[in-house]
Structure 1
Amino acid sequence: MSSINSIPGQAEESISAIPKGVPVVMINMLRFRENAKYPDGRSDISGRDAYAIYSGEAFKHLIKYGAEIVWFGEALASVIGPNDECWDQIFLVRYPSIEMFIEMINSASYQDILVHRSSALKDSRLIATIEGGK
């Protein structure tokens, strides 16, 4: 099942389980559309290019909210997992806290750039992690 945006209520419920005030690393797993699919029907650029537009703007938000990309790479093969669950890119972003992540994603300027992300992606995962565990 494809997941581009969170299901209403899903993000809030998931985020409530994350400890407050500690750094959180988000695992981003992306599969791009061959051609971006914008709400207005435009599809004149690739999904990768549309995501590049989004990520260029999103990077400015990461800096503003004290976040940083800690690892970025191209996914090559799924060694363990469903054969049909292959990814194009995977990257890790460290936020100072889940509160800063929430503040960023709720900002109006961040919301304005999400159209590029949604148009670019065929599928995605966003997994919140904390160091060490419980």
Structure 2
Amino acid sequence: MAVDPTGDGLKRYLAEDPGGPVVMLNLLRFREGGQASYARYSRALSETILQRYGAEVLFYGKGSTALVAEDGQAWDAVLLVRYPSREVFSQMVADPDFQAVAHFRTEALSEAVLQATIPVGSG
């Protein structure tokens, strides 16, 4: 299963940019023992990298009871992060400091969804 953005995905993400801030939806499914690795990744981002790019975590929580989901569709965690723009997000993932810790995320996850959101009514 895919857990990291690809070059083609990033190109499409930038090409479909409606402008303005973007809130990234992260749905996370951890590998056995992956929470510790993800915590290390999260600490590195929250201590310096997110601030450098003007990003903020809006919500981070554990998955709980799935009221409507097929078997295997429940997620271990949900994360919402606001970035000033899609371009800023793209710059952040290319930053050598981000690249140095991104492997902790990759090692932590068995599956993920990383989806840009746009406000309803904005296009």
> What's the TM-score, normalizing by structure 1?
0.83
1:65-93 per-position Cα deviation (integer Å, ceiling 9, x unaligned):
00101112111133233321121110110
Match of 2:28 in 1: 30
The equivalences for 1:1-134 within 5 A come to 2-20=1-19, 22-34=20-32, 46-59=33-46, 60-132=48-120, 133-134=122-123
Name stretches of at least 5 consecutive residues in structure 2 with no aligned partner: none
In 1, Cα distance between equivalents of 2:92 and 2:109: 20
Q: Write out the 4+ residue segments of structure 1 that deviate beyond 4 Å after TM superposition.
A: none
Single out whichever of 8-17 and 48-57 deviates more from structure 2: 8-17
Structure 1: stretches of 5+ with no match in the other structure? 35-45
* Equivalent-residue separation in structure 2 for 1:112 and 1:78 (angstroms): 34
**Equivalent pairs, count:** 121
Question: Structure 1 residues 81 and 14, CA, compared in 2 at 3 Å: closer, same or farther?
Answer: farther
Provide the rounded CA distance (Å) in 2 between the counterparts of 1:8 and 1:66.
23
The one-letter code of the counterpart of 2:34 is: G
Distance 1:66 1:124 in 2: 24
CA RMSD of aligned residues (A): 1.4
Query: Given the two structures, how large is their TM-score scaled by the length of structure 2?
Result: 0.90
Sequence identity percentage: 34
**In structure 2, distance between residues paired with 1:77 and 1:27:** 19
